[in-house]
Amino acid sequence: MDYKKHHLEKTIEEEAFSLIAIHTSIEDFQLAYFINQNCSTFFKRNHDLYSSHLKTNIKGMIWKNSWDEESHWHLFTNKYAKSKKNSNQDSELFFEESITMKQYVLPEFRQVNYFIKKPEDIASESLLNKIKNMSEIQFAYSISEENIKSHKNIIFD
């Protein structure tokens, strides 16, 4: 008897969100500390921001709001490293090398170091002004959803 396999593709509905771009030279844990201190947020380290579209983990932090259990805020880096093994013809003579390539979560915004992704219905002007006024931040601004070409890259499972 012949069997036919059917695979249903997983569909994820993403709610409307707003994105804040942050330009800074500090590390992610330092950025989260300063934002938590100045903006009354509570970002915590989470190594499992998995982007199913990129098929990789993105280094980032999550804030699970106490007033809204279903919406999470994400603070994540724009750059991530992707390793791939170098397959030489001389692989028998030399050790296999792995090449690390720098990739971007949102390649259309290569200059941005970090992003904050948050639900759209929450006012972002006061948060943005507080972030802009931090001495550790060079630039911070909102990015409208229509300017993002790679929406699928920032859907985290």
* Tens-digit pLDDT profile for residues 66-100: 666 667 899 999 998 877 666 555 555 556 666 77
Please give the Cα distance from 78 to 81 (Å, whole number): 10
Domains of the chain by residue range: 17-154
pLDDT of residue 12: 47
Give 92-133 pLDDT, tens digit per residue.
Answer: 555 666 677 888 999 999 999 999 998 876 667 888 999 999
pTM over 0.75: yes
